[in-house]
């Protein structure tokens, strides 16, 4: 994946909390993550990480708890944040990972802004907040062990960049820049769902291959594929190759519930799925990519 070297990057869409942040209580539902409680279990078993700090936020997210308190204001950017100085054009995105995140976010939001406007709807931008280790969100305190996630309370995507190393070394994904793009596009798919009122209608108490939770995640995968099909037209990305798409599919499979369960507990229990199998996730991403149209992403009426 290559960026247009002269494309102007908008760093205001990404907040850098690395080395900073805060930890304040709040309450609500997080969306995405790589399986939430199951992923936390996997992290604890395989990575040797103390996940006790997640406590109530994981339990609350699994229940799909309603908002119980107003969202807290976001923490300030971490000390020494230099995104605005270091990430100015696409050439910087070709050289630095954090600048690449800015370029990906810019492209995703440019596409959805145009697409929703064309459909007579208004797109409200969501910020991506980079953090290290622990951070506070409108959905509660969060640890990097949860993985990337979208918080509807503050309409933000949260990401610890070390997740991408774990995705490759621990989960078996091929890696590559487009694996990062897939993850971000998936989380922004949840933002589109939130703006459309889909998230608030979900029954997240149900689990399994045909549950609302799984259908929501597969729709986000499909919407990620739709963005990928239109990414070059946004002007930020110069080209995508077949290898890029293969890297995205590898990432999608790596965070399938069946893959995570097999590693974490040595068996697969479909009745507890919350995100979908590796095959489902790949299939719905490809569906969006091959058609390039959000209309094909209605997972709730699919068989």
* Order of strands across the sheet that contains 31-32: 14-16, 127-130, 156-159, 149-151, 31-32
Domain ranges in the chain? Answer: 2-301
Q: Give this prediction's pTM.
A: 0.82
Distance CA 120, CA 164 (A): 36
d(CA 134, CA 25): 13
Stated as kind and residue range, the H or E segment containing 13 is: none
Residues in the chain: 303
Buried b (16+ CB within 10 A) or exposed e, 5-37: eebebbbebbbbbbebbeeeebbbbbbbbbbbb
The per-residue pLDDT string of the chain (303 residues; one tens digit each, 9 = 90 and over) reads 999 999 999 999 999 999 764 444 334 455 665 443 334 333 333 333 333 333 333 333 333 333 333 333 333 334 445 899 999 999 999 999 999 999 999 999 999 999 999 999 999 999 999 999 999 999 999 998 889 999 999 999 999 999 999 888 888 889 899 999 999 999 999 999 999 999 999 987 889 999 999 999 999 999 999 999 999 999 999 999 999 999 999 999 999 999 989 988 999 999 999 999 999 999 999 999 999 999 999 999 987
């Amino acid at each position: 994946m290559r960026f247009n070297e002269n494309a102007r990057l908008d760093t205001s869409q990404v907040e850098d909390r690395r080395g900073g942040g805060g930890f304040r209580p709040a309450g609500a539902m997080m969306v995405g993550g790589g399986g939430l409680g199951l992923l936390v279990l996997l992290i604890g078993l395989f990575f040797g990480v103390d996940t006790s700090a997640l406590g109530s936020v994981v339990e609350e997210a699994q229940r799909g708890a309603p908002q119980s308190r107003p969202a807290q204001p976001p923490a300030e950017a971490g000390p020494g944040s230099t995104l605005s100085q270091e990430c100015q054009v696409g050439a910087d995105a070709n050289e630095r990972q954090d600048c690449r995140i800015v370029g990906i976010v810019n492209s995703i939001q440019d596409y959805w802004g145009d697409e929703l406007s064309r459909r007579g709807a208004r797109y409200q931008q969501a910020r991506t907040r980079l953090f290290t280790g622990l951070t506070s969100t409108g959905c509660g305190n969060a640890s990097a062990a949860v993985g990337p996630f979208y918080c509807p309370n503050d309409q933000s995507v949260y990401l610890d960049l070390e997740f991408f190393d774990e995705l490759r070394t621990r989960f078996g994904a091929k890696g590559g820049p487009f694996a990062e793009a897939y993850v971000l596009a998936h989380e922004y798919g949840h933002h589109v769902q939130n703006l459309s009122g889909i998230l608030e209608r979900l029954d997240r108490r149900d689990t399994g291959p045909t549950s609302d939770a799984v259908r929501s995640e597969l729709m986000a995968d499909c919407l990620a594929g739709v963005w990928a099909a239109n990414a070059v037209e946004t002007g930020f990305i110069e080209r995508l190759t077949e290898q890029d798409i293969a890297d995205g599919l590898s990432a999608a499979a790596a965070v399938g519930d069946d893959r995570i369960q097999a590693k974490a507990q040595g068996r697969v229990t479909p009745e507890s799925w919350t995100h979908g199998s590796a095959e489902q996730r790949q299939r719905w991403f490809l569906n969006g990519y091959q058609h390039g149209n959000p209309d094909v992403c209605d997972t709730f009426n699919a068989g």
